Amino acid sequence: MLVNKEGYIVDIGKNIPAWNAVDIGLFLLNDVIFEIIHLLEKQKPNLTITDCIKHLTLNVEPVWGCDVSGHLWFDIDTPQDVEFVESFLCEALNCQGNGTE
């Protein structure tokens, strides 16, 4: 994603021409997001949260991006990603079994 010097999101998406931050997919939003979802889902059948955030930033209100540099996070898109992260964390924390002990 692209954020301005104040930290607000200017553009977001996988195919934007320029970026200076990474969207980790964690958002804290108010109720206006539901209005945006209802508006956009009629126009776009495969609506994503990124579409909604982009619409929010361009048309409704600014969205601030939190810098998580130096903090541990994982990109989880698939069941295999979940397995990898569980294994990684379990090993790091000396868990046994499925990580619940």
Q: Is the pTM of this model over 0.85?
A: no
pLDDT confidence band for 97 (50 / 70 / 90):
low
pLDDT tens figures, 45-78: 899 999 999 999 999 999 999 999 999 899 888 9
Strands 9-11 and 2-3: antiparallel
Contacts (Cβ under 8 Å, ≥6 apart) of 80:
none
Q: Is the pLDDT of residue 101 over 60?
A: no
- Dihedral pair phi/psi, residue 25, rounded to 5°: 80, 20
Nearby residues of 14 by Cβ (< 8 Å), 6 or more positions away: 50
CB burial readout 56-84, b (16+ within 10 A) else e: bbeeeeebebeeeeeeeeeeeeeeeeeee
